[in-house]
A and B are shown apart, each in its own frame.
Chain A
Amino acid sequence: MIAALATLGQSTLGLLAAIGRVCLFAFSVVTHMLRPPFYIREFSQALLNIGFFSLPVVGLTALFTGGALALQIYAGGARFNAEAVVPSIVSIGMVRELGPVLSGLMVAGRVSASIAAELASMKVTEQIDALVTLSSNPLKYLAVPRVLAATLTLPILVAVGDSIGIFGGYLVGVNSLDFNAAGYLKNTVTFLELWDVTSGLIKGAVFGFILSIMGCYHGMNSGRGAQGVGRATINAVVSSSILILAANYLLTSLFFTS
């Protein structure tokens, strides 16, 4: 019994210590964002890698999700003669929830994993130590550009994903569910409020921060060898995905419950 309690206590302490380390890491990254030097070239590269190259995966995910959502809402709505709500529910569902969450998760899979693997490989091959000996702070040089780029580009990716998702719903609505094209668009716009869109973009920024911080943290604190790199990648994807879903719940509670 005491041994079991000791194990539980040890695990709890370990978890709390890990949370503390991640928080300190995130705080350091944020403070470094505000102090020169600023690495513009590295930031531009990160913008391209994280933002631009994530467009296809976010766009395709949103397109198919929007289409599937239209079909589901139509089938569900038919049970109580509410098929007409398809355009408004698709648009509200996409911009409030599915756009930000799916973009966050897809980018977490692509970007967080890639950041963790890249930085862990750099650590294993002593490139991070080399940076220090060359008078460059690894946090400032490696983490800040990536975290800033992810935080700024995720809302843009969410906006693009929202638009493509709504367009996916429109395509299915008009071509498979016999909606009138003009009527579908009118209903989409009429019931959509600015806050629906803005809240999704704020979520996007938070998710971008989370996934890039987790990628950088696990990469820069990886173990040795190929196994260490693999573990860092898995930890980055799993922790960022879970934190994105948890943050989504918290933000939704904050934004939409009075």
Chain B
Amino acid sequence: MIELRNIHKAFGKKEILRGMNLSVPKGESMVIIGGSGSGKSVTLKCILGLIAQDKGEIFIEGKNAQDATDRDAFLARFGMLFQGGALFDSMSVWQNVAFRLLRGTEKKTPLEAREIAIEKLRRVGLSPDVADQYPAELSGGMQKRVGLARAIAADPEIIFFDEPTTGLDPIMAGVINTLIREIVVEMGATAIAITHDMTSVRAISDKVAMLYDGEIKWTGAVGDMDTADDPYLQQFITGAPDGPITTA
């Protein structure tokens, strides 16, 4: 289980998170929705320790994330698909996918790591021919798939997806959504995705949390989303210009 308690984060005078609380039970797929700049990415980065929250606590399986002395072991539990893929330009596709497998305490031989990378590439629908290409040679959709393969390469317990369908055409977005759903179910992983793509939300989530003004305004099952009477959620789903959510 991932639990965020009273998380506050400000950049200068701008408060992004103002006492955010969220629980994601083990094996559940949670999608955090919210407008641009609402703090969705900041939330993921706080959980991973990429940025430190100003106040509040984050618990992973009941243990405070800040008390993790072995940082590598802590991070080894996570896989993350970044918004732009964040693939390393200087490495071939298989080296990107096998990055973690080629380093660290559970280091594999290059041959073993390459085999696992090719298997993970197959899992995300890419042929082994892609393995020796470089990220710059791939389309946006293929880069997302490689990013997904890298996120699952070391079979993590927890997977984060940062805007997984941004910049993709609707068909490729659908393919990525289906892959994410299948992989999360198959691995039994706990997943948190952040997006403002409502098609994506319906395709990949068990539960949805609506983030606005630095707080979770509504949380519930994806099936209850359309009938919920929360004005923030309803405005976000319908995209209505008038409502409690103001645009700067």
User: Which A positions have Cβ atoms within 8 angstroms of B?
Assistant: 37, 122, 125-127, 129-130, 132-136
Asked whether B84 lies within 8 Å of A133 as measured between CB atoms, the reply is no
Q: In the complex the two chains form, what is the Cα distance from A130 to B82 in whole Å?
A: 8
Asked whether A133 lies within 8 Å of B48 as measured between CB atoms, the reply is yes
User: Among B45, B71, B89, which residue has its beta carbon within 8 angstroms of that of A129?
Assistant: B45
List 27 A-B pairs, Cβ < 8 Å. A125-B84, A125-B86, A126-B82, A126-B84, A127-B86, A127-B88, A129-B45, A129-B82, A129-B86, A130-B80, A130-B86, A130-B88, A132-B48, A132-B50, A133-B48, A133-B75, A133-B78, A134-B75, A134-B99, A134-B100, A135-B71, A135-B72, A135-B75, A135-B76, A135-B100, A136-B103, A136-B104
Kindly report which residue of chain B lies nearest to residue A41, judged by CB atoms: B102
**Binary contact readout B89-128 vs A (1 if CB under 8 angstroms, 0 otherwise):** 1000000000110011000000000000000000000000
Q: Which 3 A-B pairs have the closest CB atoms?
A: A130-B86, A126-B86, A135-B72
Give the secondary structure class of B's interface: loop
Contacts of B89 in A (CB 8 A): 127
Kindly report which residue of chain A lies nearest to residue B74, judged by CB atoms: A135
Q: Does B83 contact A (CB under 8 A)?
A: yes
User: Which B positions have Cβ atoms within 8 angstroms of A?
Assistant: 45, 48-50, 71-72, 75-76, 78-80, 82-84, 86-89, 99-100, 103-104, 150
Kindly report which residue of chain B lies nearest to residue A129, judged by CB atoms: B50
Q: In the complex the two chains form, what is the Cα distance from A133 to B86 in whole Å?
A: 11
Contacts of B72 in A (CB 8 A): 135
Given contacts A132-B48, A132-B50, contact A126 B83 (CB under 8 A): yes
Contacts of A135 in B (CB 8 A): 71-72, 75-76, 100, 103-104
* Most chain B C-beta atoms within 10 Å of own C-beta, residue among A127, A130, A136: A130
How far apart are A40's CB and chain B's nearest CB, in angstroms?
Answer: 12
How far apart are B93's CB and chain A's nearest CB, in angstroms?
Answer: 14
Q: In the complex the two chains form, what is the Cα distance from A37 to B104 in whole Å?
A: 8
Q: In the complex the two chains form, what is the Cα distance from A31 to B161 in whole Å?
A: 34
Given contacts A125-B86, A127-B86, A127-B88, contact A133 B80 (CB under 8 A): yes
Kindly report which residue of chain B lies nearest to residue A124, judged by CB atoms: B84
Given contacts A125-B86, A130-B80, A133-B78, contact A37 B50 (CB under 8 A): no
Q: In the complex the two chains form, what is the Cα distance from A126 to B78 in whole Å?
A: 16
Q: In the complex the two chains form, what is the Cα distance from A127 to B82 in whole Å?
A: 9
Q: In the complex the two chains form, what is the Cα distance from A129 to B48 in whole Å?
A: 10
* Most chain B C-beta atoms within 10 Å of own C-beta, residue among A127, A132, A134: A134
Contacts of B49 in A (CB 8 A): 132
Q: In the complex the two chains form, what is the Cα distance from A247 to B60 in whole Å?
A: 48
How far apart are B92's CB and chain A's nearest CB, in angstroms?
Answer: 13
Kindly report which residue of chain B lies nearest to residue A127, judged by CB atoms: B86
Contacts of A133 in B (CB 8 A): 48, 50, 75, 78-80
Given contacts A37-B103, A127-B88, contact A132 B82 (CB under 8 A): no
How far apart are B197's CB and chain A's nearest CB, in angstroms?
Answer: 19
How far apart are A150's CB and chain B's nearest CB, in angstroms?
Answer: 18
Contacts of B80 in A (CB 8 A): 130, 133
Contacts of B50 in A (CB 8 A): 129, 132-133
Kindly report which residue of chain A lies nearest to residue B79, judged by CB atoms: A133
Contacts of A127 in B (CB 8 A): 86-89
Q: In the complex the two chains form, what is the Cα distance from A161 to B208 in whole Å?
A: 64
How far apart are B85's CB and chain A's nearest CB, in angstroms?
Answer: 8
Kindly report which residue of chain A lies nearest to residue B105, judged by CB atoms: A135
Contacts of A136 in B (CB 8 A): 99, 103-104
